Structure 1
Amino acid sequence: MGGSLGRALVVTFSVLAVLLTSACAFPVDGRAIPSREVTVGADPSFISGTNGSEEDRLAAATMRDLEGFWGREFPSLAGGRAFAPLAGYFSVDPQGRGERPVPCLPNPQEIEGTAFYCPRSDVIAWDRTNLLPQLRREFGDAAVVVVLSHEFGHSVQGRLDQDGALAAAPTILLEAQADCYAGVFLRRVRDGALPDLRTGATGIDGAMGALITFRDPVGTSPRNADAHGNAFDRVSSFQDGFDGDPAACASMGRERVFTQQSFRSPADESSGGNLGVEELIRAMVPDLDRWFGDEVRRRGGQWTAPGAERGDPTCPGTDGDVQGPVAWCGGEGGPSAVRIETGGTLAADHARIGDFSTGTLLASRYGSAALAALGRPTTGPEGGRAALCLAGAYSAAVGTGDSAFGLSPGDLDESVTLLLGEDTASRGTDGVAAAATGYERIRVFRAGVTGGADACLRGV
């Protein structure tokens, strides 16, 4: 149960194996979302080893609000039992001399780059000199809050576990539940319902950016004893908590579905699951035509496959490439076509994030074509939202039925990274984005993944 976040930012696998109380993930190449929206300033004197730094003052505010929040919420989950305070908190300089000993951690250097909850001693410890400052620089203050609230979530699990069931629970499920508890807490921070902490939408996106950085290495089996989940699974758990309540997190069980998977072939593993831009387009376009055509015809519409054209993504009658590097042009002044600018930002994201960043854009534009074929709006927030949702529905269906195209283990993570960082996949054909935040864009995409095309066409 002693899962941890943070080590992925600064250490390698050889060091990762040192802490038996920790199991962390490797980073993805994401886009930093800096935000200093969290109030800092609580007295950290109750934290063992503190040096009074701004990072420890933020940690102190977080712990104080976590104690108050779970003191109020825990009894309703535990049949009226009160929440027992943790035995302690430890702020550690891994290179410092004379550091106070940390339970479960005989050598302070072993905490470098990480935060963890130790169930044997019921304490939370963190690296204040490397981890917390880097989280703040890369993702903002809310990143520290999500890391520490995740670790606090493990203490909640232990207090609820009166029959010892945790010992047999899969690690990936325990980590998902802790992510969910963190989401519940961050929602209260966002809502201004806590004494010390405040954040807004940008802070929540920063917290999610930090969370997806701590995904498992691509290709990790969900049955791995140290599995924490891929980026899509971790964000899903966080959003389930953010949009839900503590009871929803506590009720998570073995029936929970995870998208994380192992590589299916040595060739897929050797490529990291990524195709080049042109190779991806050639492989994916026939499958997009098949799936979206079937969905349109199933609903009584007429489907004509749009052409897949390389070049300028500007549609006739529009002022520039308002849809981004991939655009669906609906036939005004020419045939229906998906126009793809294979260089520029598309090529950069393809290389930086992975091939399904391009795949997500392609799927959303075929979603626009399908909406038009069904007489649905393709413009404005409504059109962008439905197209993005349909991209999620398509992504969930890839590799099933008659599909000749399959997703690789990291592809949904690449969708999440793209959506957190930019709005192009959520734009209507007039360039109006469906959502201003990464949180909302990912939520819409997830609605398609979990609910299919029917959910998208009912409205999300």
Structure 2
Amino acid sequence: MSRSFGVASAVVALALVLSACTTTVAGRPLAAGRVIDSGKSGQEVNPSFINNTDGGEIDKLAGTVVKDVEKYWEETFPKTFDNKPYQPLRGGYYSVDTSKANSPAPPCTDQASDVEGNAFYCPSADVIAWDRVALLPVLKNKFGEASVMLVLAHEMGHAVQRRAGLTQAAERANPQRFPTILLEAQADCYAGSFVRWVSDGKAPRLQLDRDALDPALEAMVLFRDPVGTSQTAEGAHGDAFDRVSAFQDGFEKGAKLCSEITVENRTFTQRGFLSADDQASGGNLTLDKAIDGIQTEAGKYLQAEMTKLGKQWPGTKLQQVTAAPRCSKGDQGPAAYCPEQREIDVQTKGKLSELHTKIGDWSTGTILGSRYGLSVLAVLGKPLTGPEAQKSALCVSGAYSGFLLARNDNGFTLSPGDLDEAVQVLLGYDFAARDVEGKAPATGFERVTAFRAGVVGGFDGCKLG
């Protein structure tokens, strides 16, 4: 069975989806610069080793990436897998022109169009193939060259699984032991470990400014499973939160951790819709209902958490306002924690409403959750400005989101896709990360990391006591 990066549509539809999903912070352009450093290698990679290549710029980029990925695994595979040497792909690489009906088909496919909008690794032929027309150039143009690096590193991650014996074990064992979503998470994790190696300046040919990670991670949002897909579904790759989380784990902790991912130690957030009504609404509440639910439930949640810390929770009023909140030293965006009034002011018309409609209701939940996070810091007597305050506010928002996700009653809870909405708003905007002076971490990668700490570790994981 071939392992692909994810499901994408034909080139026109893909381009439209990419355009619709991309969001940026005002005044901060996407970091879509080149990742190839010709000065490091001294010469351009000749893509002639790629089967069916046209010798063009896309295959030169792809060839450069896979050469450095090979170098990475030559160094890393023995350290990760008991000194076993890394073996190059037996079947090699295939570039596919999906725009022509008579284009040669790569192994494991019947026709070139089978690859349209995708890249895959096929273990039986030990090959990696990609669409050089409707995938890689579209990703490069919309998300930068780092997104191409991420996709091809993911496919090499599947080749690593084959060499480590995991693919064979998955084929023999009960599918519940090695579900597809687990294999995909591990490949995403391996991609993260490689990208960190590049970011650290260790690659012979590639270089990466960390600002370029944000648009690359936005590409992972595109390749998530459709909202409402069960994590046990055949071919499941994970929601955006699962995929970005796996990538970040590899980036932060390395390939060894990736190799140890199992169903026992990995929790996935992807899930199916629990009711027909939830599915019909796409899991989204109106802005008014979302604000009402958050105001009621966040207070209960934080009261319980403050009690555990031996603190009184005085409550935080949530006030809807017509003008942009200006109750603190700096611009916090459409929602602001007001220290003197001990309230959260929310401008419901304007940017918050726009994000609620464009991304979904948990973009609102993520932003408001972080303002409650600042109110927690105030109760605890901690600073409301600076990097630690910014991270803590995000972490509390993540902890609250994780609490709602885990609820098994019929109360206010998260719907499938809500954490994906959190990822999108954190990658595209810094509102949820702003302290009372309006300052925030520079990259979405950092913002998602802090939010994830709360989702995974809960309120205790924010280390506020």
The TM-score normalised by the length of structure 1 is 0.91
**Equivalent of 1:440, from 443, 446, 457?**
446
Between 1:174-183 and 1:29-38, the stretch displaced more is: 29-38
String of CA shifts for 1:227-250, please: whole Å, max 9, x gaps.
Answer: 100011101110110011211111
> In structure 2, what residue type is equivalent to 1:47?
I
Indicate the residue corresponding to 1:48 in structure 2: 51
Distance in 2 separating the partners of 1:105 and 1:235: 29
Output the CA distance in 1 between the equivalents of 2:211 and 2:429.
Answer: 13
Contact 1:49 1:91 survives alignment (8 Å): yes
Partner residue, 1:29: 21
CA contact (8 A) 2:361 2:418 kept: yes
Partner of 1:431: 438
Question: By how many angstroms is 1:316 displaced?
Answer: 3.5
What's the % identity of the aligned pairs? 45
Render the CA deviation track for 1:287-315: whole Å, top value 9, x for unaligned. Answer: 01111122223323232222221113424
- Residue 455 and residue 107 in structure 1: after superposition, are their counterparts in 2 closer, same or farther (change >3 A)? same
Match of 1:22 in 2: none
1:100 counterpart = 2:110:
no
8 Å contact kept, 1:146–1:182: yes
The one-character-per-residue Cα deviations of 1:258-278 (angstroms, maximum 9, x if unpaired) are 111111111001000001111
RMSD after superposition: 2.3
Q: Does 1:368 align with 2:374?
A: yes
| Residue 420 (structure 1) aligned to one of 419, 427, 442 | 427
8 A Cα contact 1:34 1:136, kept in partner = no
Shift of 1:76: 2.8
Give me the whole-angstrom Cα distance separating, in 2, the residues matched to 1:97 and 1:296. 64
* C-alpha spacing 1:323/1:303, structure 2 compared with 1 (3 Å): same
Residues 98, 313 of structure 1: CA spacing in aligned structure 2 closer, same or farther, 3 A cutoff? closer
Q: How does the TM-score come out when normalised to structure 2?
A: 0.90
Conserved? CA contact 1:380–1:431, under 8 Å? no
Does the Cα contact within 8 Å between 1:48 and 1:88 map onto a contact in 2? yes
- State whether residues 28 and 215 of structure 1, in contact with CA within 8 Å, keep that contact through their aligned partners in structure 2: no
Q: Distance in 2 between matches of 1:280 and 1:377?
A: 29
Query: Relative to structure 1, is the Cα distance of residues 287 and 402 closer, same or farther in structure 2, using a 3 angstrom cutoff?
Result: farther
For 1:110 and 1:180, how far apart are their aligned partners in 2? 26
Q: Which residue of 2 aligns with 1:214?
A: 223
| Shift, 1:97, TM fit | 5.9
Contact 1:216–1:230 under 8 Å retained in 2: yes
| Structure-2 residue corresponding to 1:314 | 325
Query: Residue deviations 1:418-459, cap 9 Å, x none?
Result: 1111111011112121x1111111111111111122221349
Task: Give the direction of change, closer, same or farther, for the CA distance of 1:189–1:27 in structure 2 (3 Å limit).
Answer: same
Q: What corresponds to 1:410 in structure 2?
A: 417
Counterpart in the other structure of 2:396: 390
Secondary structure of 1:138's counterpart equals helix
User: What is the SS of the residue equivalent to 1:8?
Assistant: coil
- Counterpart amino acid of 2:85? A
Distance 1:416 1:423 in 2: 11
Question: What is the deviation of 1:128?
Answer: 0.5
The residue number in structure 1 matching 2:387 is 381
Return the letter of the residue paired with 2:192.
G
> Structure 1 CA distance, aligned partners of 2:328 and 2:353?
26
8 Å contact kept, 1:6–1:113? no
Residue 120 of structure 1 is matched in structure 2 by 124
| Alignment size in residue pairs | 443
Corresponding position of 1:192 = 201
Change beyond 3 A, Cα 1:211–1:372? same
Tell me the equivalent position of 2:40.
Answer: none
Q: Structure 2 vs 1, CA of residues 92 and 402 (structure 1 numbering), >3 Å: closer, same or farther?
A: closer
- 1:307–1:336 Cα contact (<8 Å) kept: yes
The CA distance in 1 between the partners of 2:421 and 2:152, in whole Å, is: 25
Q: Does the CA-based 8 Å contact 1:306-1:369 persist in structure 2? A: yes
CA distance in 2, matches of 1:7, 1:297: 46
Report the equivalent of 1:2.
2
For 2:318, what is the secondary structure of its paired residue? strand
2:78 aligned residue (71, 75, 78): 75
2:65 matches 1:59: no
| CA separation of 1:350 and 1:170: change in aligned 2, threshold 3 A | same
**Partner amino acid for 1:111?**
V
Superposed, 1:233-252 pairs within 5 Å as 233-252=242-261
For 2:139 and 2:313, locate their aligned partners in 1 and report how far apart those are by CA, in whole Å.
48
CA distance in 1 between partners of 2:394 and 2:86 (Å)? 42
Structure 2: runs of 5 or more not aligned = 25-29, 38-43
Cα distance 1:393–1:174, how it changes in 2: closer, same or farther (>3 A)? same
TM-superposed deviation, 1:26: 11
8 Å CA contact retained: 1:323, 1:424: yes
Taking structure 1 as reference, are residues 253 and 89 closer, same or farther at Cα in structure 2, changes over 3 Å only? same
Q: Which secondary structure does the structure 2 equivalent of 1:126 belong to?
A: strand
- SS at 1:45's partner residue? helix
Correspondence 1:173 to 2:175: no
Match of 1:326 in 2: 335
Distance (Å, rounded) in 1 between the aligned partners of 2:70 and 2:101: 30
SS in 2 for 1:243: helix
In the other structure, the counterpart of 2:88 is 85
Matched-pair contact (CA < 8 Å) for 2:19–2:142: no
Match of 1:129 in 2: 133
How far, CA to CA, are the matches of 1:394 and 1:357 in structure 2?
A: 13
